[in-house]
């Protein structure tokens, strides 16, 4: 993975080096510079934050290291609204005393595969002792009013890149995952008089079982803080309770920096993410709400629901045991915004030629149904491997009654897929959950929240026509 830094601009473009003027020095920060501050920790303060003094709501949260999925000692982060062209600093309250820190921020672009493409403002953290005698502590600034993610790491004994020791990243929230149609949606931001900020998505299409997060850049997944890739900041917000907050109609649900938000009922939703600044964990300043608007557009083939191939906007699939001579119709149901109704039409028809387990592919662009014999395989630890095709995977057995069964070779999460030419296994994956067959479609990865686990030697049976599964 490439690890190059492109530094844009010279000293004239730097966003720091603003004299602190009347700002107190570290020696004379007194009680009048504190407002309801009792907890030891780091705080963002200064005119850019809307407060000339250190306030409790501006306390930074402990940092979450995306690499090991744990909170990291010495790493801190804060989402905060900053006013462009105004000064801000960091203050540490410890042992009843305040010490302040700053940096000379420069615009930097990371060319790592997983980093955002957006410009990052970063610099080397400094305290009073780093400032040459006779000079003042520089102030940090951003050029534009906006919502920002500030991250820094005090573990300077590790090989951290100096440019990335403190980062200030502009934030615009997107919904990422859940459904390919929602992936690129940026929320409409509203800054309210009481200081709260909302991001609203009026129509988000989410399939049943879809998993998504709020992510502030479409192009990356995390921000590297060190050259060895051991410390990475999370740039997304998810479900604090690992799927327990499944969508339908929800109000003020909790947020954290991990776990997918799992959609329980397929449909079109209005989603609102709300920021109300407070101290505590990163997620404590955020809540999300959802309102069911209407059902999704749908295509039924032979009366059966079909599942999108993950990431494919045209092709969907189903596996069914069909009898020769049966005629299948593809019926579309598309929402009409002008009438507020769903327009239904027959898009295609086909006659089944052979009795047996059948893979149904429907192409919505061509309005064509393709039928072929279905090959179903196990996948993952429970079936001995992660081959992305059916090669190396033992096909499951088609029984006389049209069901499909196989025996797990090891303990593990139950995962299976149907072979589709040119398609990776995970894009046509399914499992069993609470007695029903569940399909990945455009959702996120399977886990304990949406797929069953099995033990070695257990028999798994799928009844695709009934939509059910058993583990015995």
Give the 3-state secondary structure of residue 414. coil
H-helix or E-strand spanning residue 277: none
Task: Report the relative pairing of strands 34-35 and 54-55 from DSSP bridges.
Answer: parallel
Q: Which two tokens stand for residue 362?
A: 């429907």
Please name which of 373, 370, 383, 378 lies closest in space to residue 395, comparing C-alpha atoms.
Answer: 378
Contact 408/378 with Cβ under 8 angstroms?
A: yes
Any bridge partners for residue 328, and if so which? 350
- Looking at residue 8, its pLDDT comes to 27
Per-residue b or e along 319-343, where b marks 16 or more CB atoms closer than 10 Å to that residue's CB: bbbbeeeeebebbbeebeeeeeeee
CATH architecture of 376-471: Sandwich (2.60)
Q: State residue 48's pLDDT score.
A: 96
Distance, CA of 320 to CA of 309 (rounded, Å): 16
In 186-213, which positions are buried (b, 16+ CB within 10 angstroms) versus exposed (e)?
ebebeeeeeeebbbebeebbbbbbbbbb
| CA dist., res. 378 & res. 393, Å (int) | 7
CA distance 105 to 87: 12
- Secondary structure (DSSP) of 279-348: SSSGGGGEEEEEEEEEPPPEEEETTEE-EEPTT-SSEEEEEEEE-TT-EEEEEEEEEETTTTEEEEEEEE
pLDDT at res. 432 = 95
Q: Which residues of the chain have pLDDT under 50?
A: 1-30, 159-164, 180-183, 242-248, 390-391
Distance, CA of 33 to CA of 55 (rounded, Å): 9
Q: DSSP per residue over 219-273, as a string?
A: S-SEEE-BTTS--EEE-EEEETTTTTT-BSSEEEEEEESSSPEEBSS-EEEEEEE
Check residue 180 and give its pLDDT.
Answer: 42
- Per-residue confidence (pLDDT) for residue 116, from 0 to 100: 65
Domain limits of the chain?
A: 5-170, 174-294, 298-373, 376-471
What is this structure's pTM?
A: 0.73
């Amino acid at each position: 993975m490439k690890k190059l830094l492109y530094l844009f601009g010279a000293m004239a473009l730097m966003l720091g080096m603003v004299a602190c003027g009347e700002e107190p020095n570290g020696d004379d920060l007194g009680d009048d510079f504190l407002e309801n501050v009792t907890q030891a920790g780091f705080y963002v303060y200064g005119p850019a934050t809307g407060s000339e003094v250190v306030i409790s709501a501006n306390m930074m949260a402990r940092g979450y290291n995306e690499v090991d999925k744990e909170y990291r000692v010495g790493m801190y982060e804060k989402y905060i609204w900053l006013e462009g062209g105004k000064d801000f600093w960091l203050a540490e309250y410890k042992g009843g005393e305040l010490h302040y820190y700053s940096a000379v921020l420069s615009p930097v672009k990371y060319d790592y595969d997983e980093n955002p493409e957006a410009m990052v403002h970063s610099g080397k953290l400094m305290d009073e002792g780093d400032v040459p005698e006779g000079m003042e502590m520089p102030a940090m600034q951003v050029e534009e009013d906006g919502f920002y993610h500030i991250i820094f790491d005090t573990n300077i004994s590790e090989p951290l890149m100096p440019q990335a020791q403190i980062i200030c990243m502009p934030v615009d929230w997107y919904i990422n995952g859940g459904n390919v149609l929602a992936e690129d949606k940026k929320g409409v931001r509203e800054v309210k008089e009481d200081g709260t900020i909302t991001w609203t998505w009026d129509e988000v299409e989410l399939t049943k079982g879809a998993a998504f997060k709020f992510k502030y850049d479409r192009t990356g997944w995390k921000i590297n803080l060190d050259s060895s890739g051991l410390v990475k900041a999370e740039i997304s917000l998810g479900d604090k309770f690992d799927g327990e907050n499944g969508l339908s109609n929800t109000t003020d649900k909790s947020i954290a920096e991990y776990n997918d938000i799992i959609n329980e009922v397929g449909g079109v939703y209005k989603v609102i993410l709300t920021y109300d600044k407070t101290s505590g964990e990163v997620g404590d300043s955020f809540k999300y709400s959802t309102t069911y608007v209407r059902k999704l557009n749908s295509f039924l083939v032979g009366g059966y629901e079909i599942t999108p191939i993950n990431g494919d906007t045209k092709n969907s699939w189903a596996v069914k045991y069909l009898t020769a001579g049966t005629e299948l119709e593809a019926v579309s149901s598309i929402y009409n915004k002008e009438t507020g109704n769903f327009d239904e039409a027959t898009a295609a028809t086909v006659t089944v030629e052979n009795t047996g387990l059948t893979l149904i592919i429907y192409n919505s662009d061509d309005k064509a149904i393709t039928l072929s014999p279905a090959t179903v395989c196990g996948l993952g630890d429970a079936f001995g491997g992660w081959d992305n095709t059916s090669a190396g995977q033992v096909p499951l057995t088609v029984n006389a009654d049209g069901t499909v069964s196989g025996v797990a070779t090891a303990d593990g999460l139950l995962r299976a897929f149907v072979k589709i030419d040119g398609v990776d296994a995970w894009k046509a994956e399914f499992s069993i959950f609470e007695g029903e067959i569940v399909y990945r479609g455009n959702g996120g990865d399977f886990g304990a929240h949406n797929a069953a686990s099995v033990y070695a030697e257990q028999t798994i049976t799928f009844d695709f026509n009934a939509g059910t599964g058993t583990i015995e």
